[in-house]
Structure 1
Amino acid sequence: MRTGAAAGHVGYFHEAILYDSDEHLLAVVLPFLTGGVEAGEPTVVGLGARNADLVRRALPAGAGVTFLPGGDVYARPTGAIRAYRELLAGHVAAGATQIRIVGELPPVVFGATWDWWARYESAINHAYDEFPLWSMCAYDRRVAPPHVLADVARTHPRIAGPDDAHEPTGVYTEPVSYLAEHHPAPLDPLQHTTPAVDLTDPTPARAREAVRAADHGLLSPDGVDDLVMAVSEVVCNALRHGTTPVRVRVWCAADRIVVTVHDRGPGPKDPYAGLLPAGDGSEGGLGLWITHQSCDHVTSHRDADGFTIRLTAGNAHFPV
């Protein structure tokens, strides 16, 4: 049985908290968490260290709230979806009729990698909708840039506020429509320089060799293997499902390797490509899902010249 603002709702009840002080955050979060505990619902906190400690100290001793290691959960969007789906499935299997979670993304993602986290916030409206989940995503208005807050409003159906306020954002956009829009990520500054590798129509094996040779010990052995696998998957998809010519370019810096794969085709049709394994038989769906788990940032871009995927291994948080 659903309780609180989610009473009578079927599926995922997704809200944002747009707060501007510790007092504001606690005024929303504490009643949400204590209400879940009182109702006997699994009640989870996935906040960063500072806010998790703030909430922990404000809760009654032995409140029965589970605290997750927030930094581990939000390393990559695909990993976060996978981890939360496993958590939710476990609680449902144990008999839960509602699960409450409050979480937040680390502020570092509000920069160069925000595009794939905005996609995450939209996609989870679909990815978690089979579960009786009520979650609140906390965003500090003093820290989050205006374009981030604009995306938050479009990817969350409701805003939660003090005094049990739950107001529609008014601009919420269904995931299929939001994800089909063009949300360009900023160019990596390396892309304004001459690439170390520039190949046309390489075989996947040739692309793998080129990326491995360009590394020169920059990445860890596992990091190189992950990037090589991701490049191989993307090149395979481009050659098999895209339109030639396929162009592969590689840039290297002291802290990262950036690879772009471009073809003349329109790219995948599945709006959830990369974030979820394709469940409808979409071509290349599983390879893109694997790629999103193997790199530190993945972007996709469509324009009149075709479709480009950019893969970053290493530090993806360059200044923007």
Structure 2
Amino acid sequence: MSGPAFAAQAPVPTESFRHEAFLYSGDEHFVAGATTFVRGALEAGQAVLVAVVEPRARLLRLALGRDAERVEFLDIADAGRNPARIIPAWQDWVDRHAGDARGFRGIGEPIWAGRTPSEIVECQHHERLLNTAFDEGPGWWLLCPYDLDALPGPVIERAYADHPGVAVGDTRRPGFGGAYSGPGSAALPVAAMPAEPLEEPAGPVWELSFDLASLGTMRDRVAEFAEPVVGRRGAANAVLVVSELAANSIKYGGGAGILRLWRDVAALVCEVRDDGVITDPLAGRRRPSVLVGGKAGLWIANQVCDLLQIRSAPGRGTVVRARLGGAGGA
């Protein structure tokens, strides 16, 4: 097997954000590429954060030997269970190393076998948002592994569309349809808030219209509905999430909204609809300066949920769907 496309490159600091997909076949190929990438960083004195799932994290540690002690590892299966929490994790990493003239690197695996279809869609949105989030900041290099043997063909095809560059075997190919020419490029696809409708629930749905006067009653009904599904602690989280989303609807979405609740396998799904429009594609993915004052609702919801999906467009309004507890598709 030929070496990875990034192996022959000198480990020099990155002047701008470099975001590449790494297409690999099986664990052996992953370890070979990831080890080369990490050791290249260490040789240059660069900090490295690796956020991949098991068993790949363990295999990489074994391959690195004592060098693994110089690498920071993050359990992406936990930290990135809700894909909207991945950019904040990378932002923390960037903030910690932004002043390092030697540069820094990361390996981030947002999509792995076992992700639900709804999670994969949100991970793909996350991948497109990475350039929006980091192109204007300090330079660093992020490599996103995709397992050719375990992931469906359409997921691999989408990796080309969501990355400026793609490393395949010993070659590097352009992504974004070959149009990307660096930060600020007019050809760079602009990430936007998704507008396509979410799939409708298959089972019974409980629905309630709300406004400022009915928030107390709404919270009581959410707790009553949620506890048999996700238990007392899960019900408390559901009340918190719905309260934050409803407050956003009242403040920014026309003063009222519609709440829908349903059970999906062992999980609870809470959905809030209103007439407002969210224009910031990074809404809920940037840590707010304060957690009070009415501007942290989506952030708080993302910290609590297993999955948060936002769909917003002029003329259609906004739908925010939160999943709490259990497993399976949303």
TM-score range, shorter chain: 0.7 to 0.9
Q: How does 1:115-126 map to 2 (within 5 A)?
A: 115-126=121-132
Deviation (angstroms), 1:108: 2.6
Structure 1 match to 2:60: 55
| Shift in alpha-carbon separation, 1:9–1:84, aligned structure 2, 3 A | closer
For residues 252-309 of structure 1, the C-alpha deviation after alignment (integer angstroms, 9 at most, x for no partner) is 356111122222x252121212222579xxx965212222222111112347553322
| Shift in alpha-carbon separation, 1:253–1:192, aligned structure 2, 3 A | closer
Q: Is the 8 A contact 1:97 1:132 kept in 2?
A: no
| Shift in alpha-carbon separation, 1:316–1:88, aligned structure 2, 3 A | same
- Secondary structure of 2:323's counterpart equals strand
Structure 1 match to 2:153: 146
Structure 1 match to 2:167: 160
Q: Distance in 2 between matches of 1:276 and 1:176?
A: 21
What is the aligned counterpart of 2:227 among 204, 207, 216? 216
- Secondary structure of 1:132's counterpart equals coil
| Shift in alpha-carbon separation, 1:316–1:75, aligned structure 2, 3 A | same
Counterpart residue type for residue 317 of structure 1: G
CA RMSD of aligned residues (A): 3.1
What is the aligned counterpart of 1:232 among 233, 236, 243? 243
Q: Distance in 1 between matches of 2:102 and 2:218?
A: 49
| Shift in alpha-carbon separation, 1:277–1:53, aligned structure 2, 3 A | closer
Q: Is the 8 A contact 2:13 2:104 kept in 1?
A: no
Structure 2 match to 1:86: 92
Deviation (angstroms), 1:251: 1.3
Structure 2 match to 1:267: 277
- Secondary structure of 1:177's counterpart equals coil
Q: Is the 8 A contact 2:116 2:328 kept in 1?
A: no
Q: Is the 8 A contact 1:157 1:168 kept in 2?
A: yes
Counterpart residue type for residue 134 of structure 1: W
Ranges in structure 2 where 5+ consecutive residues have no aligned partner: 1-7, 181-186
- Is 1:301 matched with 2:314? no
Q: How does 1:1-320 map to 2 (within 5 A)?
A: 4=9, 7=12, 9-59=14-64, 61-62=66-67, 64-92=70-98, 95=100, 97-105=102-110, 106-129=112-135, 130-163=137-170, 165-171=171-177, 177-187=190-200, 191-195=201-205, 197-202=206-211, 203-243=214-254, 246-253=257-264, 255-263=266-274, 265-277=275-287, 285-302=295-312, 305-318=316-329
Q: Distance in 1 between matches of 2:118 and 2:162?
A: 19
Q: Distance in 2 between matches of 1:229 and 1:84?
A: 26
- Secondary structure of 1:108's counterpart equals coil
Q: Distance in 1 between matches of 2:317 and 2:327?
A: 24
Ranges in structure 1 where 5+ consecutive residues have no aligned partner: none
Deviation (angstroms), 1:222: 3.5
Aligned sequence identity (%): 26
Deviation (angstroms), 1:85: 2.1
Structure 1 match to 2:4: none
Deviation (angstroms), 1:231: 0.8
* TM-score normalised by the chain length of structure 1: 0.82
For residues 41-88 of structure 1, the C-alpha deviation after alignment (integer angstroms, 9 at most, x for no partner) is 112322222222332333354463333333233222343322322233
| Shift in alpha-carbon separation, 1:88–1:152, aligned structure 2, 3 A | same
- Secondary structure of 1:75's counterpart equals coil
Q: Distance in 1 between matches of 2:160 and 2:10?
A: 19
| Number of residue pairs matched by the alignment | 307
| Shift in alpha-carbon separation, 1:100–1:186, aligned structure 2, 3 A | same
* TM-score normalised by the chain length of structure 2: 0.80
